Amino acid sequence: MSRRLGWIGAALVLFAVVLWLFNRPQAAYGMTSYDGDGVRVQVADATEEAQAMERTAFVVTLADGDGKPLSGAALRIVLSMPHMFCGEYEATVTETAPGVYRAEGVPTMRGRWQAKLTLEDNGRKIAVVHDFKVV
């Protein structure tokens, strides 16, 4: 009988640990980099922890292949949840310094999100996906 209670107790502890791991708040993923086609792109979280229905910000740094800032770029960022049908939300993008952009958008619910950056430059179209989590 006590052996059976020991196994049940161990199973409950394991279940509690797994539940805690999957439901604890997590910070956003951080940064995504792309270097190709003569363009360097870096997307970084500017908000410490993305919250549902609150403004979330990203800093985007653009440079050419030589590292010179790309100013005045045709840049678009759309927030969405992969594998969900909750819509796409366009972020507002402003250039804060040569080659440095700030994007702000509002994710609508908790879960895994992505910020898809699309850059059109000299006839090229480059897409970079930055994953983040909303708590």
| 89 Cα distance to chain centroid | 13
- Under 8 Å between Cβ of 41 and 77: no
- Under 8 Å between Cβ of 108 and 22: no
pLDDT of residue 108: 94
Q: Reduce the DSSP state of residue 70 to 3 states and report it.
A: coil
Mean predicted lDDT score pLDDT of the chain: 84
Mean pLDDT of the region 2-31: 52
Strand-pair partners of 104: 57, 92
| 111 Cα distance to chain centroid | 11
Tokens of residue 19, six digits: 């539940």
Distance CA 110, CA 133 (A): 7
Task: Report the predicted TM-score, pTM, of the whole model to 2 decimal places.
Answer: 0.76
- Under 8 Å between Cβ of 62 and 70: yes
pLDDT digits (tens, 9 = 90+) for 52-101: 999 999 999 999 989 999 999 999 999 999 988 888 999 999 999 999 99
Percent of the chain's residues with pLDDT above 90: 66
Q: Reduce the DSSP state of residue 109 to 3 states and report it.
A: coil
